[in-house]
Structure formats: structure tokens, C-alpha cells
Structure 1
């Protein structure tokens, strides 16, 4: 008689879809599902979603897992979620109007007023965030100002709302709370002065990521899982994405390459940067994530692929692989426009230097990837200085597929690059592994069973990359000078 494998379920409420995975102790994903939902743009800079779509997607995705596995073997569920995304809740925990995702930029004036009231430097020192209009409390203030939302409505994050639907209790974890813009990292509590400046009166109670509540009985019956199965509160997508990659201690860096790129290192203690170059996020258990985000990476690759008449970003990566770095023109990849990363300069624009009549599409593609690598190197240099514990770069996401990108990233940073190309859902995987660790005492170092492709840095290319980065930065500085 064989022993039945016990499974945990990871749910990731992402920007465009909900991902669900069922995972065993060896890190093997035995079933997965993905259900998408639309984002509405009723006006310039808007990005709205219907919370009901999230719940429908969750039910459908978990229905699929229940069909593909034995639900009686499920032992825990944990959540990961996009950040920051606002859901205002009225009486009975019912959403008031649409949710506003992190892509919504209409509250920038409100963000500026909150930052002016508290002080931008004070906010960073207190919350670890570079405050702007995309934080939840700024979005809420705009809605109240316009009379769209009652001032006393509850300000909640997307994952917080999903947790309420699954368990009946509204809670938020520290990493998600950081995305509100009013979480005091030092005292691990809400900052009353910042909430007041944003006219926020109601927020969820704070609880650790491993907080567990039983799944609602009607949902347990729907899926056929144990009636007492716990649902763990979980953490932000960047935090559990890093966990799924294996970033559990200082040293390794998580590199999640998508439409934009998230670069996250880990510190055992609270670290703030004198120049405010990285954001600070509480991690899933102990320690802090030091996060830097490059804005237009995958989106820039998609743009150039379209410009060159290629059918996909992957085709651009294949094209870049055919060109030598030494013949590639310089490309500044600030196509959003502007850049965060280690620069935080909204005035930067994309640019090229060194184009000739002999420049090929492959060389232009290689130049764009090299520009993204140069900004990645800048971020990783900052994180290396902050943590003093260099380790490998653990890459996931479609943006990490091109071999030229990974080879250049290894050579430019002098770190090994591990690519997890066959695992698409590291945030959901991280949630499931976290649940297994907390509920079933799975090994602390458990990661996906799928082995990574490893590229070691080539020391003979260190000088080439030092020169390339110097030229890249000189071009950036000359652009800044021209546009002053």
C-alpha cells in the first residue's frame, strides 16, 4: 500500500491572472491552473479591475486543481498577491466600486500632498517606501476627494480582500501593509500620522504571514478538501516569488523578469539607503527585502520586437543571441519613460549611440538587452554594498530567456546566474512551499524540483563590461545635462 502524497495549495492573485498550484513535499508541482481577468482603462492613467472577477478566477482555478488532484490530500492554502492594489470596502466587507491596480497613476497629486504633509525623507525613513500616488492610501485620498468613496470605507489590498472571501476575516501581513504607504517598519504598526494625512480611518488588522484561519465551510465542501484546512495569510508577490526561487537568507538575489523587472535581495536586519535607492519590505518570516524595480524591460523588448517586425519578444531574444556585445550600439532602455531602479529619475528617456549603416537588427537587439543588464548591474551593486553577502542571481520570467541576457548579466555582475525557465509561477509556488514549511514542517530549503540552468561569470569579460558600463553611464549623464 502506497502512502498518499500530501499537498499544499498556492494562490497568486496577479496583475492579469490568478495562478493556482498544488505542490508536494519534494517541490514538485502536480497540478496548476491560470485564469485571467481584464483591466479597464476608462480614462487616461486609469487601471481598474472588478474584484468579483478575482473571486470567479479563484473559484475556477481551484476547481481545476480539485479535478486534477485528490482534494482530501490538501493540507494548507497560502496566498500571494499583487502590490499595491486598492479595494475599498463598505459595510459587510463588500467592495465599493472597482479595484485600482498598481498601474493606476491618477492619484499622483494626492501622493505629493501626503508626502509634503509628512515629509518625503521622513516617509522613507519610517516606511522604507519612495512614496507616490500609486500607494493605497494616496489612491483612497483621491477617491474621497472626488466623492467616489466614503471617507470611512476600509482601505484594503487585493490579497487582503481575497483572504476575507476565503476565511471571513480581513487581515493584512507586513509585506502587503508596506504597499499601503503607512506601515512603520521600526515599530511594526500602522503610522497614525500618515493615515490621517491620507484621510484613512479604517485599515485591516496586522498579522504575521503565517497566520492561519480555516477555509469557509462552503468552499471546503465545493472543493472536497478537509473542512479544517488552514488558509495562511501569506505575503506580497515579490516576497513569495523570492521564496519560491530559494531566496531565504542574505546573499542570493531574486530577479523576476517580466513586463518590468523586480530585483530583490535580503537583509537579516532593517537596512535603509541614504539615497533612498531601494524599497524595504518585511519578508515572510524574519528579515527584510531590499527591492529595486526596473520599469521598461520586457515592455521595451516587446516594443523593439514589434518595430523590427518580429512576431514575439522571444524572437528578439533569439536575434540578440546572434550578435556580439562588442558590436552592439549603446541603448538607454528608459522607454516608460523615466526609470526607478537605482536612479529614481522620471526625466530619463530612451536613446541610442553608435548606430551606423552597418548596424544590424541583431546588434540593436543585443544593445537593448545590454542596456537592461547595465541598469541591473547598477541595482545589484547597490544591494551588494547594502548586504555585503554576494551570492547567485536567481532569474525567472520570460525576460530571462535569452542566453545573451543571462550571459551578460553574469559577466557584468561577476555573479553566477541561475535560470528557472521551466517554472512560470514562482509566486504561487512560493506560497505553496511556505504553507508546507509552516503547516507540514517541510524542509526550510525546499524549492522547485526543476533544476536551474547555471551560467558562471567569465572573468575575461570583466574589463569589457567595465568599459561598457562606463560608456552607458556617460550617455545617461549627457542626456541629463541636455535636459536640465
Structure 2
């Protein structure tokens, strides 16, 4: 048995697979996000520990025999978060999360230094870790002076699990401190951020062991002490391991809180100017490129709260027949990454009339997110990655209507896996298996495909026209801000 733990933004998921990589059990525990100011997003790391303990506790209660047989543990988690520790490993302040945009000025300042793009292979986005530390230095100098260690969210969980300060290549790629091509911390980038190598955790590959489970936790969970804990992966790279997206040309689209178009690469080929993310993969000697949008299912959830309905009820209301675009929604509720790199832009709903009802707005929101994915596809193409089909992932992929919208907007077939969880927690469990030495990367096969969703050819012209209008609307909205 192998345990995967995924530290998400809205909750922690713990999942057990057996030696044949079949899911045996899973459990979740919720998390909340604090937004103390506009554009801010924080969590208390103590809540991550409580939620992880709760999720694993549920597994232990319902599946004690399986938990007792766990031979490896893998971690995945939300990326970019700045967890600041003092010399005694005490948390100095709430973690500043991936979708926090307060450090946009600091990000622009670092990005203006050409060595950041040259060495990290990426734009310094406001959500990345380095500008957050610069913001803390500028605004909370007393806290900055006490920072002895900086850990990414899942790596703080690792410290609790093993007592080791370790990160791995995929997650570290999103800090703006990693030499992504060479897969090592960059002394030059750290110095330019007024940071020090001594504040960085040790680096391993995602498939390597990073430490062993602490004896006290092992006793509490009925898992063997010293059970290997894998390096793990950032959430998207872990999902890729779970999806078997590890070879050149393999790609998926993830409809989660944020949205991602992810493509695996056998070589390092950055193109920072396109605002595409070029990161190390969780597999050694491989990389990946991502187009990232900040508000995917978050956009639908925002509207659901506004109208007092569930997101599922809103999508069910649309029925089975795909609608032609009737207005435009720009899903920039908390800024945008690919391709705009714009922390200040905000969302917009245009082209509505007296005849626009709730269902029409829901359809426009789904279309707007699909058009944002189209922006990412265009950016990936400009960066040298040609995507010809995608596999669907994430909670939003349960909506057949949304997947049909995406396939039609992108003019790309979308494959839907057979029912089952092949997301980040599953990928983390696979990494736990690999770190235990009981399988090779070749065992991480793609999921069986239940069906393929083809673009709606009859609606393609209408969607293409709407997308071109969508592209024109961004600069129009931007000019008013």
C-alpha cells in the first residue's frame, strides 16, 4: 500500500493505492482561505497539519489494515506559497499563497533584472515565492529579519512528517530561485532577492526519498516508523504523474480552482516572454510547460454564490445542447498569468441584454474560461509546444457541458478518463511507490479513456468569432483601469 497526501487550497486529500495502483480508499478535510485585504490570500500552516491529521485519521478509522501496510508516502501540494520559519522552525506569519497578488511591484522589479528569466526560464510572476519575500522585507522587516528557512506548503508538511527540510524540482521551479535548466538553487537569483542559500531546503527529485516518517506520527497512524517519504511534486506535476503525462507530447487540461494546460517535454526549452511556465517535471531529466489561468472553477463558484445556487445546479440547468456564445465573460477575478502576466486586471461580463438569463450567464462563464485556455494553447504553441489533444482533469471536468465547450473553443479533442481519481493525490501515491523502489516510471501509465469529446463543428465558427472578440476585449478593459 502507498499513501498520497495532496495539500490543496481548499482542502487536504489522503489516498491509498495498492501495489497494482488501484485506489483502495481516500479521505478529505477542508481548509479555508483568509483574504485580509483585496488581492491577498493566506492560510495558517497549522491548519494544514490539522487537516492532514484529520484526513489520514479518517483513513485509519475506516481502513486500519490498509494503513498498516503503507510502504511509501508521497506529497503534492499548492505551489509558490511562502512559509516562513524562524531558527526554531516556528512559523513567523500566515503563509502567503499562490493566488496572492500583493507583491506585483516586487515581481516587476525582480523581473526587470534579466538574469531571472535567463536562469529560471520564467517571468517572475506576483504569485511566485521570491517577490513575496521581497514584499515581507519591504513591509514587515521585523519578520524578514527572523527568517531562517523558507518552505513551500507541501514541504512544511514534510518537515512535520519527517523532521527534514527538503523540496523537489517541480515545486522549487515556481519560486524564481531555481536554475530550472540545471535543476539546482541559483546563488545569483537568491542574492538578487537578498536571500541566502542557507535559507533554502535541500533538493531531491520527486521520485527520490526525502526522509522517513517520524516515530511518534508512525505510532499515531499505525504506519511503520521510518516509512519512506518521497520528494513528491507540485500539484500539477503530481497530477501529471497520476495521469501518466510524462512523455514528449502528452498533455492534459485541469479544471480546478485555477486552470492549467500542461504539456510534458523531454528537453528544457523556456520561452518566458510568452508567460508560459517552464518547470522541472517530477521525473528526473524531464521538464514541462504550462499555461496557467488563475480563476477556472473559481469563476463558476463566484457566480454560484452570487445567485444562491450550487455550481452543479448551474451547469445542469444548461441541458445537453451546446449553446452559441451570447456575451463574453473575462475570468480575471484575481488577475491573470498566461498570457497577460497582469495582477491588476479584473473580470468583466459584456454583451448582456434584457434577454440574458441566468443560464446564459453560466454558459458565458464556462466559455470565458475555455477562451482563457485557448489563450494558453496559443502561448504554448508560440513556445514551441504543439498540443493536438488533451486529457481532462480536475473537479470541473465532471461537467460534460464544460468539456464540450472547451473542445469547441480550442478545436481540440478532449479525452475523458474512466471514472476514478487520477489527480494529484494519486500521483503523489505513485511517487511514494517509486521512492520505495518497487516500480519504475514506466509503471505510471495513462488512465483508460472512457470517451473522447470532439469539437462541435457546427458551432466552431461562432466560437471562433467570439474568441477573437474576447481577445479584443482584454485591452479595452485594461485601458479603463
Q: Structure 1 length normalisation: TM-score?
A: 0.88
Helix, strand or coil: the match of 1:320?
A: coil
Q: List gaps (5 residues or longer) in structure 1.
A: 1-6
Helix, strand or coil: the match of 1:419?
A: strand
Q: Mean alpha-carbon deviation: is it higher for 69-78 or for 229-238?
A: 69-78
Q: What is the distance in 2 between the residues matched to 1:448 and 1:22?
A: 18
Q: What is the distance in 2 between the residues matched to 1:321 and 1:453?
A: 19
1:420, distance to aligned residue in structure 2 (A) = 4.8
**Mapping of residues 290-305 of structure 1, within 5 Å:** 290-305=289-304
Helix, strand or coil: the match of 1:341?
A: coil
Matched, 1:113 2:105: no
CA deviation digits over 1:220-254, x for unaligned, max 9?
22222233421111111111012212312122322
* Residue in 1 that maps onto 2:30: 36
CA contact (8 A) 2:76 2:424 kept: yes
* Residue in 2 that maps onto 1:340: 337
CA deviation digits over 1:69-116, x for unaligned, max 9?
423321110111111111122224332233222233333333333334
| Aligned pair partner of 2:169 in 153, 174, 177 | 174
Q: What is the distance in 1 between the residues matched to 2:305 and 2:31?
A: 25
* Residue in 2 that maps onto 1:365: 362
**Mapping of residues 54-453 of structure 1, within 5 Å:** 54-67=48-61, 68-70=63-65, 71-116=67-112, 119=113, 121-145=114-138, 146=140, 147-150=142-145, 153-201=148-196, 202-212=199-209, 213-273=211-271, 275-285=273-283, 286-307=285-306, 309-321=307-319, 324-326=322-324, 328-336=325-333, 338-346=335-343, 348-384=345-381, 386-420=383-417, 422-423=419-420, 426-438=423-435, 439-441=437-439, 444-446=442-444, 452-453=450-451
* Residue in 2 that maps onto 1:25: 19
Q: What is the distance in 1 between the residues matched to 2:316 and 2:378?
A: 28
Helix, strand or coil: the match of 1:305?
A: helix
Q: What is the distance in 2 between the residues matched to 1:41 and 1:360?
A: 31
* Residue in 1 that maps onto 2:467: 469
Q: Structure 2 length normalisation: TM-score?
A: 0.88
Helix, strand or coil: the match of 2:274?
A: coil
| Aligned pair partner of 1:14 in 8, 11, 16 | 8
Q: List gaps (5 residues or longer) in structure 2.
A: none
1:275, distance to aligned residue in structure 2 (A) = 2.6
Q: What is the distance in 1 between the residues matched to 2:463 and 2:419?
A: 29
Q: What is the distance in 2 between the residues matched to 1:188 and 1:311?
A: 46
- Count of residue pairs the alignment pairs up: 472
1:182, distance to aligned residue in structure 2 (A) = 1.0
CA deviation digits over 1:349-374, x for unaligned, max 9?
54455434434433332222222212
Q: What is the distance in 1 between the residues matched to 2:364 and 2:35?
A: 33
Helix, strand or coil: the match of 1:35?
A: strand
Q: Call closer, same or farther: CA 1:451–1:222 in 2, change over 3 Å.
A: farther
Q: What is the distance in 2 between the residues matched to 1:107 and 1:385?
A: 28
Q: What is the distance in 1 between the residues matched to 2:230 and 2:50?
A: 20
* Residue in 2 that maps onto 1:51: 45
Q: What is the distance in 1 between the residues matched to 2:447 and 2:124?
A: 38
Q: What is the distance in 1 between the residues matched to 2:334 and 2:430?
A: 37
Helix, strand or coil: the match of 1:199?
A: coil
Helix, strand or coil: the match of 2:91?
A: coil
CA contact (8 A) 2:275 2:340 kept: yes
Q: What is the distance in 2 between the residues matched to 1:8 and 1:72?
A: 10
Helix, strand or coil: the match of 1:91?
A: coil
Q: What is the distance in 1 between the residues matched to 2:335 and 2:100?
A: 16
Q: What is the distance in 2 between the residues matched to 1:431 and 1:52?
A: 21
Two-structure CA RMSD over aligned residues (Å): 2.8
1:415, distance to aligned residue in structure 2 (A) = 2.5
1:172, distance to aligned residue in structure 2 (A) = 1.1
Helix, strand or coil: the match of 1:172?
A: strand
Q: What is the distance in 2 between the residues matched to 1:103 and 1:256?
A: 16
CA contact (8 A) 1:26 1:448 kept: no
CA contact (8 A) 1:325 1:367 kept: no
